Structures are given as structure tokens and as C-alpha cells.
Amino acid sequence: MTNVGISVKNYSIAFGNTQILNDVSLSVKQGEIVTILGPSGCGKSTILRSIASLEENYTGEIFINEHCLIANGKRECHKDIGYIFQDYALFPHLNVRQNIEFALYKLNKIERQRRVDKLLKQFDLVDHRHKQIHELSGGQQQRVSIARVLAYEPKVILLDEPFANLDTLLRNKTKVWLKKLIKELGLSAILVTHDQKEALSMSDKIAIINNKRVEQFGTPKKLFEEP
């Protein structure tokens, strides 16, 4: 299994008596953006939560490179994963700088400052660094949430409807910018959306979920352009 960022194999999950997903398989190579596309409620976030080790009530296997997330019946978190939530999940009582710095407590002060300063610059947040979260626009909050995740230098990022709370103009700008950033950093990314247009513009590959399973998996060209 060479050069595989994320691999989901024969994944199934039920909540109570309700089967949500059945025998889902997909893979993301290093540097690829794969979008999970499907209607609201089909289980997209549930897959992301499973990859982030926030859900373990599934069957099948999830690998991050060669590392199996549930090995010998034991759950193992993987520190290389960054998870960007739809509602950003920022800490309201911390300012911008403190939010970005939050996960870096294990690093020494100089390294912490170096990383945070770099991200503040890169994300055009230097002038906002002392602001509280509620003082920021939606687009700025989203940038803080992405900067906070990138601060711990993940290899894999999971993006749950990252554009949902942005207006149309900012959404288009952010799509271009985020795609470029993922490619530049060589991350493996899984993006979740119900928006076909978004999937088409962002993805190297798309997994279309329908009737509890991956109905199609391939490049946008293959899925939407060829007869």
C-alpha cells in the first residue's frame, strides 16, 4: 500500500437499528483532494468523524498510511489528522492568536511563536491577532479555524462543509485559495459537501454516496463529463 494517504475499506455503520452506510470504500493519495458528495443526512460527517477517531462504532478498516485506526480492537488516534468543522469550533474566550496557539502547548515558546507568527501572516490575520472571535467576520473566523488546524502541521485534513457559512463571493475566493494551499502543503484532504458544483471545482476525485453506499468513485471528468 504505497503512497496512500487515507484508505477506508468496507466501512459500515449503523445507529441503533438504522443502517447509515454499507460497505463504503474509498482512498485518498498523498496530495489529493477527495470529495464525499451526497445529500444531507447520508452519513458524510459520520465518515469524517470515524477517520478522526471520534466514532468507533463501525465495521471495516480505516488506514492513515499503513497505520490502522482500530488495531486489535483498540482505537488509536492519529496525530497527523486535522479536522475543520463546519461551524469552525473556535474557542470564544480566547483571542485569534491564542486560538491558533492552542494545540501547540507541547512545543517550546520560541517554536510556538514562530509557527503562530507565520500562520498569522500567511492567513492575513496579523491585524486581527488580539481580537476576540465574535469580533471577526465569517471569512476571518474560517481562516482562524484553518490556521489553528495547520498549526500542528497535519498530513491529512478533513473538511466538513468548509464553505457553508461564507457568502458567494468569499466562498469562490476561499475555494481557490484552499485548493492551492492543500496542494502547496502536499496534504491529503477529504472534503464533505452536498454541493455538486463545489465538488467539481475542488476535487481530484469524487465519491458519490447514494443509498447508503459509494455509488460512484472517480475523477470529476469521468463522473460528470464522459457519456
Stretch that binds ligand ADP, among 27-35, 66-74, 169-177, 212-220 (CB under 6 A): 169-177
For residues 25 to 44, the per-residue mask of contacts with ligand ADP, x marking binding by CB under 6 A and - elsewhere, is: -------------x-xxxxx
- Applying CB under 6 A, among 53, 80, 113, 139 the residue interacting with ligand ADP is 139
The three three-digit cell numbers of residue 195, written as one number:
454541493
- Applying CB under 6 A, among 137, 210, 216, 219 the residue interacting with ligand ADP is 137
- Applying CB under 6 A, among 78, 97, 115, 143 the residue interacting with ligand ADP is 143
**Helix, strand or coil, per DSSP, at residue 201:** helix
Question: How many residues lie near ligand ADP (CB under 6 A)?
Answer: 20
Q: Pick from 195, 185, 198: which is nearest to 152 by CA? A: 185
- Applying CB under 6 A, among 45, 50, 99, 193 the residue interacting with ligand ADP is 45
CB of 134 to ligand ADP, least distance (A): 15
Give CA–CA dist 88/208, Å, rounded. Answer: 25
* Residue 19 is a binding residue for ligand ADP (CB under 6 A): no
CB of 66 to ligand ADP, least distance (A): 27
CB of 161 to ligand ADP, least distance (A): 8
CB of 65 to ligand ADP, least distance (A): 25
Which stretches of 65-155 are DSSP H helices? 96-101, 109-122, 138-151
Q: Which of residues 56-115 bind ligand ADP (CB under 6 A)?
A: none
Which of residues 29 and 131 has its CB atom nearest to ligand ADP in the complex?
131
Give CA–CA dist 219/31, Å, rounded. Answer: 14
**Secondary structure E strands in the chain:** 4-15, 18-29, 33-37, 58-64, 67-68, 70-71, 74-75, 81-84, 156-160, 188-193, 205-210, 213-218
* Residue 162 is a binding residue for ligand ADP (CB under 6 A): no
- H or E element: which one contains 170? helix 168-185
Asked whether the beta carbons of 78 and 69 are under 8 A apart, the reply is yes
- Applying CB under 6 A, among 4, 14, 20, 103 the residue interacting with ligand ADP is 20
CB of 86 to ligand ADP, least distance (A): 9
Residue with cell 488516534: 77
Beta strands 205-210; 33-37: pairing state: parallel
CB of 117 to ligand ADP, least distance (A): 16
Give CA–CA dist 130/132, Å, rounded. Answer: 7
Length of the chain (residues) = 227
The residues of the shown chain that bind ligand ADP, judged by CB under 6 A, are: 15, 20, 38, 40-46, 123-124, 137, 139-140, 143, 170, 173-174, 177
